[in-house]
């Protein structure tokens, strides 16, 4: 069996710029939504439809993913009076958003439907927590989990820590460099009224917070919240008639990168993750490279997952991720800001989707909801990114979203402004 | 924490049958001869269905680790901080590529199979030489675990997370 590096990574280029994201929607990021995941999903999908300027009759496809919670597409379609021509609910994790973008493009390309909405709904704080606390921690341990959970190796942080620890060993990466990701994202979130955590924290704050599992401190971990998000995909042609500037999809990639998608085996060093392999499809498909990207959206379940993705997708050399995330490059006002909404670390956790929504808004040039209001009552873009300032990135033309599920699977998407 | 091996999970039934006898066996592919862990029905290197069980020496070096201070599993709470180790076995290290190894998970335990106390946890890092011991966790079920290999030459200073 060939390893991923040996497989044919040439992909058809005719899908480049053929599809666009035309609507995005979400519910507030809370802890204690007070409603079901079905209700959350319904409101997020409705908000996305309205954002696009569409009606229920225009949406004929729905995709979603979950792992143990959420709701199903037919329920939400029924609640909103949608008659779907295609739907699919899959089991999935953090790399599902970008992978389902590819699926949405595929079903439209195949003629199964014309406009597809992708949603993720989760009471990720008050009900099923990804970290495995509550009911999940008491579930019987059998099968593959006898080689992980039986050893107290269960939460995402515990699972991924081996990779982080080995990266420090291999490359001399320091905890302070990685903590800079949280400090940076918290500064971004302070300009985001939607963010659950708006308070700015420093590198010292991160390092002084209690250890959860070495090398992860409490503030290295993302904020679990209750919320739903939704994204609408249609053809670039059809998108011309809609409300917003088109966020054109340059490329998507979804790749399994090891002989086994678990934490034990690797094709390559364990401090290298799936982005290293997904990028072999992503960049040639997109026709642009990391140097062309204005804004990145990493899957920041933890500070170090951001560092690893940025490194393995080629935004810096392997082993230099610690420097890249701490030298100011990823800050608002820096060369290539990352997670301008605050991401999972500060805005909220919707399993990969909220960073895509943020990048769509960056491409529309309308991330103005926190800009100062002038005497005429209108928002003023300041670009000084100080507390209470804007977070719109100047001349944002190309964005990249980097998904993460485990070190063995990676999905990513590149978009550009029309 | 309830541990069980399902009847139809033939590969794990066979694996833990050896473990119950405090004997470490891994599957070896009938075609390409590479061994693998954890147990599965197919060879991840050549897709072969054929595999047999072979004894493997439980010795190796720590490839990476995490030190858990906030336990998720209630059964581990009284033992924090505890170590989870990813150990490169000496057997088949560097195969089939230079980056590969048989990497076997386990906790750091005392020689008699009890989760290591904090003073022992603080001494182990990447590079520490370890040997396998078995912890009997319930009737008929034993887990392979790792303890410091007293007979091996240890690195001068195993690599530990810098912020202690």
Question: CB B107 to CB A152 under 8 A?
Answer: yes
User: Angle at CA B20, nearest 5°, toward B15 and B22?
Assistant: 95
How far apart (Å, rounded) are the C-alpha atoms in residues B24 and A63? 45
Block means of pLDDT (10 residues each) for chain B, 164 residues, are 91 97 98 94 92 98 97 91 97 90 96 96 97 95 97 96 80
Question: Read out DSSP for A28-52?
Answer: --BS---S-HHHHHHHHHHHHHHHH
Residues 231-260 (A) with a CB less than 8 A from some CB of B: 259-260
Residue whose C-alpha is closest to residue A415's, from A404, A403, A400, A393: A400
Q: Which two tokens stand for residue B16?
A: 């833990």
Q: How far is B75 from chain A (nearest CA, A)?
A: 8
Predicted pLDDT at A2: 60
How far apart (Å, rounded) are the C-alpha atoms in residues A354 and B164? 35
Average pLDDT, chain A: 92
CB B133, CB B116: distance < 8 Å = no
Contacts of A168 in chain B (CB under 8 A): 161-162
Q: How far is B103 from chain A (nearest CA, A)?
A: 6
Asked if the bond preceding B38 is cis, omega within 30° of 0, the reply is yes
Predicted pLDDT at A266: 63
Q: Which two tokens stand for residue A405?
A: 């599920």
Residue whose C-alpha is closest to residue A182's, from A314, A345, A68: A345
Residues 112-131 (A) with a CB less than 8 A from some CB of B: 131
How far apart (Å, rounded) are the C-alpha atoms in residues B34 and A375? 73
Question: Read out DSSP for A311-348?
Answer: HHTTSS-TT-HHHHHHSSTTSTTSSS-B-TT-HHHHT-
Q: Which two tokens stand for residue B13?
A: 């039934």
DSSP A296: E
Q: Where are the alpha helices (DSSP H) in chain B?
A: 10-20, 118-121
Predicted pLDDT at B157: 92
A125 is catalytic: no
Predicted pLDDT at A413: 98
CB A322, CB A178: distance < 8 Å = yes
The residues of chain A scoring below 50 in pLDDT are: 1
For the full predicted model, state whether its pTM sits above 0.90: yes
Question: Read out DSSP for A102-136?
Answer: HHHHHHHHTTS-SEEEEEEEEETTTS--TT--GGG
A171 is catalytic: no
Predicted pLDDT at A1: 47
DSSP A57: G
């Amino acid at each position: 069996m060939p390893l991923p590096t040996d497989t044919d990574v040439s992909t058809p280029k005719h899908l480049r710029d053929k599809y666009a994201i035309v609507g995005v929607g979400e519910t507030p990021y809370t802890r204690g939504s007070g409603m079901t995941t079905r209700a959350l999903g319904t409101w997020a999908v409705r908000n996305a439809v309205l954002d696009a300027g569409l009606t229920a009759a225009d949406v004929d496809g729905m995709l979603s993913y979950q792992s143990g919670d959420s709701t199903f597409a037919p329920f939400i379609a029924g609640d909103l009076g949608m008659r779907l021509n295609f739907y699919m609910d899959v089991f999935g994790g953090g790399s599902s958003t970008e992978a389902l973008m590819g699926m949405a493009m595929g079903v439209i390309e195949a003629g199964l439907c014309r406009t597809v909405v992708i949603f993720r709904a989760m009471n990720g704080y008050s009900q099923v927590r990804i970290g495995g606390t509550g009911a999940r921690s008491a579930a019987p341990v059998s099968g593959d989990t006898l080689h992980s959970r039986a050893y107290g190796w269960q939460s995402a942080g515990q699972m991924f820590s081996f990779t982080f620890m080995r990266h420090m060993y291999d490359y001399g990466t320091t905890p302070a460099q990685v903590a800079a990701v949280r400090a940076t994202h918290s500064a971004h979130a302070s300009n985001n009224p939607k963010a659950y955590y708006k308070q700015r924290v420093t590198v010292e704050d991160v390092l002084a917070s209690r250890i959860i599992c070495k090398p992860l401190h409490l503030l290295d971990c993302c904020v679990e919240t209750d919320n739903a998000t939704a994204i609408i995909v249609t053809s670039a042609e059809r998108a011309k008639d809609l409300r917003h500037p088109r966020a054109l999809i340059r490329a998507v990639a979804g790749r399994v990168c090891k002989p086994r998608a678990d934490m034990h085996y690797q094709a390559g060093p364990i401090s290298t993750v799936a982005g290293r392999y997904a990028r072999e499809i992503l960049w040639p498909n997109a026709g642009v490279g990391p140097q062309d990207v204005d804004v990145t959206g990493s899957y920041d379940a933890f500070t170090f997952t951001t560092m690893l993705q940025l490194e393995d997708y080629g935004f810096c050399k392997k082993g230099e991720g610690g420097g890249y995330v701490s030298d100011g490059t990823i800050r608002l006002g820096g060369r290539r800001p990352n997670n301008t909404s605050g991401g999972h670390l500060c805005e909220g956790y919707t399993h990969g989707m909220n960073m895509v929504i943020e990048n769509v808004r960056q491409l529309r040039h309308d991330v103005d909801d926190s800009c100062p209001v002038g005497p005429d009552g209108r928002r003023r873009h300041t670009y000084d990114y100080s507390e209470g300032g804007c977070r719109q990135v100047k001349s944002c033309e190309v964005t990249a979203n980097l998904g993460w599920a485990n070190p063995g699977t990676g999905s990513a998407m590149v978009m550009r402004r029309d | 924490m309830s541990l069980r091996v399902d009847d139809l999970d033939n590969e794990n039934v066979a694996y833990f049958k050896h473990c119950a006898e405090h004997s470490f066996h891994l599957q070896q592919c009938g075609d390409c001869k590479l061994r693998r862990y954890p147990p599965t029905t197919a060879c991840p290197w050549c897709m072969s269905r054929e595999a047999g069980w072979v004894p493997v020496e439980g010795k190796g070096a720590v490839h990476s680790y995490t030190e858990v201070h906030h336990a998720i599993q209630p059964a581990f709470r009284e033992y924090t901080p505890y170590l989870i180790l990813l150990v490169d076995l000496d057997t088949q290290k560097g195969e089939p590529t230079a980056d590969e190894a048989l990497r076997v998970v386990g906790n750091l335990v005392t020689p008699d199979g009890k989760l290591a106390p904090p003073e022992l946890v603080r001494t182990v890092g990447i590079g520490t030489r370890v040997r396998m011991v078995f912890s009997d966790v319930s009737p008929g079920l034993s887990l392979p675990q790792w303890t410091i290999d007293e007979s091996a030459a240890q690195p001068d200073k195993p690599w530990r997370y810098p912020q202690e």
